[in-house]
Structure 1
Amino acid sequence: MSGTGKGRPAAPRPRGRPRTGARVAAVQALYQSEQTGEPAEVVIEQFVRHRIGALPGPRGDIPGYEEGRVPEADVPLFGAIVRRAAREGETLDGLLARHLDKDWPLERLDPVLRALLRAAGAELIGGKEPPARVVINEYLDIAHGFFGGEEPRFANGVLDALARTLRPEEFAAPRRAGR
């Protein structure tokens, strides 16, 4: 499974969605942290100072997600996702590994895909909000921004299985009236 093939992942995302921007930045930050070995707090600070927020372009236009920038992001959500993914790393990796084929361990996955699964897993393990289906849909949109192949479908399967493990009550069949 391959990523963007460039040194840093950059996914085009719709403008004006700060929560989506936070999630894109979290995937990028987790990727960077893994590639450089820098601690989560260092990467969070770098992103807040240098990567989050739009900058005027040479002709006065505002660049989007080019060059790894995230023009608009909910910074507290971004920080919470990255911190939780770092803090719960071993637990998350163990949970993710349970939902992967034995021939495709987590270490074999594309590093961007691995970062995406960890970010989504951090949100799923972190509580009941947002609903699991919202988390899955958001990260599937992000996966489509990073990948053009089968990776989004693969991520969907892993995240669905993970969500059903972590939040089974959200997937229980609703009770019918009178039964």
Structure 2
Amino acid sequence: MTSNPDPAKPNQPRQANKRGAARLAAVQALYQMDVAGSGILEITAEYEQFRLGKEVDGAQYREADAQWFRAILAGVVENQKTVDPVIRQSLTEDWPLSRLDSTLRAILRAGVYELMNRSDVPVAVIVSEYVDIANAFYSEDEPKLVNAVLDRVARRVRGEGRGRDPGT
């Protein structure tokens, strides 16, 4: 698997709306928390004060929905004991959650959190946004893995997959 392991410098992602930018920032913050052992209050303050909508090291962060960013970050942290087992159930036995790199874990945790707790957001939107984030960091099979795992989770927790109209 070829990857760009530094989520602070993603490949060229497509333009995101404010919620999409918040999702990307949440994944980056979750990665930073995982790798550096930073706490949620410290990371939230850092992103809101210095990153969201700001220029950092020559890269312009897109304006993000700060409330959405905080909700994802806090939701993943508060619900990790529920989210991680759901991810594990959707991975193959030869790919335990601990085997995934920190960026991929952050993407899956954020996506699964939204699928489990944001029924106001359509499955297709959540899956598509997190696959786009995976495409920003990876160039091989990881985006397919994100798509497959989130689709399995959507079927399990919402009774619907990306290819199915929830109204039918």
TM-score range, shorter chain: 0.7 to 0.9
Partner of 1:37: 37
Q: Which runs of 5+ in 1 are unaligned?
A: 65-69
- 8 Å contact from structure 1 (residues 3, 110) kept in 2: no
String of CA shifts for 1:61-111, please: whole Å, max 9, x gaps: xx43xxxxx221111000100000000001100000001111110010121
Shift of 1:13: 3.2
Query: Which residue identity does 1:103 align to in structure 2?
Result: D
Compute the RMSD of aligned alpha carbons: 2.2
Query: Which residue identity does 2:41 align to in structure 1?
Result: E
- 8 Å contact from structure 1 (residues 81, 122) kept in 2: yes
Partner of 1:110: 101
Structure 1 residue 135 and structure 2 residue 134: aligned? no
Distance 1:128 1:39 in 2: 27
- 8 Å contact from structure 1 (residues 26, 81) kept in 2: yes
- Give the TM-score of the pair, scaled to structure 2: 0.88
**Which residues in structure 2 correspond to 1:153-168 (within 5 Å)?**
153-168=144-159
How many equivalent residue pairs? Answer: 165
Query: Which residue identity does 1:55 align to in structure 2?
Result: E
Distance 1:123 1:173 in 2: 16
Q: Percent identity?
A: 35
Structure 1 residue 98 and structure 2 residue 89: aligned? yes
Q: Secondary structure at the match of 1:123?
A: helix
Q: Which runs of 5+ in 2 are unaligned?
A: none
Distance 2:81 2:17 in 1: 30
- Give the TM-score of the pair, scaled to structure 1: 0.83
Q: Secondary structure at the match of 2:88?
A: helix
Return closer, same or farther for 1:49/1:117 CA change in 2, 3 Å cut-off. Answer: same
Query: Which residue identity does 2:125 align to in structure 1?
Result: V
Structure ID, larger Rg: 1
Structure 1 stretches of 4+ with a deviation exceeding 6 A read none
Q: Secondary structure at the match of 2:106?
A: helix
Query: Which residue identity does 1:37 align to in structure 2?
Result: G
